[in-house]
Amino acid sequence: MPSFGNNFILKNEYNLVNCYGRGPQENYQDRNTAALVGNYKTIVKELYFAYGRPQENGYKTDVRWITFTNNSSKKIRVLSSKLLSFSGHHQYNSVFDAGKTKQQRHLSDTTKRKLVSVNIDNAQTGVGGDNSWGYKPLEKHQIQPKNYSYSIMPLK
């Protein structure tokens, strides 16, 4: 399983992001020791990392809370009793996942949407590639078969 979590869409106006977790750069559970825990503020557009091929990007791990705020200071805040991970983009997830067949897409094939797509994950499999991108993630960075549950509380 690549990830265990939720995806939801916010209005485009909720593009101010404040989180307490690892950053400021993108990081994944097997690639996060250089990302220090702190309070990071940015805009959704700045979470995007422009890889040549559209793919999962801009992820943040070990997050305690996240807020998405509009210019009128209305907030959507996500809290959990355990550490979360998240990403936020002006794209649908389907842009990053070609499904069962590769579509050889490039950045020029993507369109910025007037929305904020948010992924909140309890767990995500690591990136792997300890041998120049051929190896799967180490077992400790994979989501193992078992019962999972988590909860989040959206607060206004």
Residue-wise pLDDT for 76-130, tens only, equals: 999 888 899 999 999 998 888 766 777 777 777 788 899 999 999 988 877 777 7
State pTM to two decimals. Answer: 0.87
Total number of domains constituting the chain = 1
Asked if the structure places residue 154 within a domain, the reply is no
What sign does the dihedral 95-96-98-104 (CA atoms) show? positive
pLDDT tens digits, one per residue of 4-61? 889 999 999 999 999 999 999 999 998 899 999 999 999 999 999 888 878 889 999 9
Q: How many residues does the chain have?
A: 156
87: CATH: 2.70.98.10
Domain that holds residue 109: 3-143
Residue 84 has which token pair? 């979360």
Asked if the structure places residue 148 within a domain, the reply is no
Local structure of 118: helix, strand or coil: strand
Q: What are phi and psi of 67, to 5 degrees?
A: -125, 145
Asked if the structure places residue 155 within a domain, the reply is no
Asked if the structure places residue 156 within a domain, the reply is no
Asked if the structure places residue 42 within a domain, the reply is yes
Asked if the structure places residue 99 within a domain, the reply is yes
Task: Decide if 137 contacts 126 (C-beta within 8 A).
Answer: yes
In angstroms, rounded to a whole number, what is the distance separating the alpha carbons of residues 34 and 20? 16
Task: Decide if 88 contacts 40 (C-beta within 8 A).
Answer: no
DSSP 3-state helix, strand, coil percentages of the chain (rounded to 5)? 10, 40, 50
Residue 26 has a pLDDT of 94
In angstroms, rounded to a whole number, what is the distance separating the alpha carbons of residues 142 and 127? 9
Task: Decide if 11 contacts 64 (C-beta within 8 A).
Answer: no
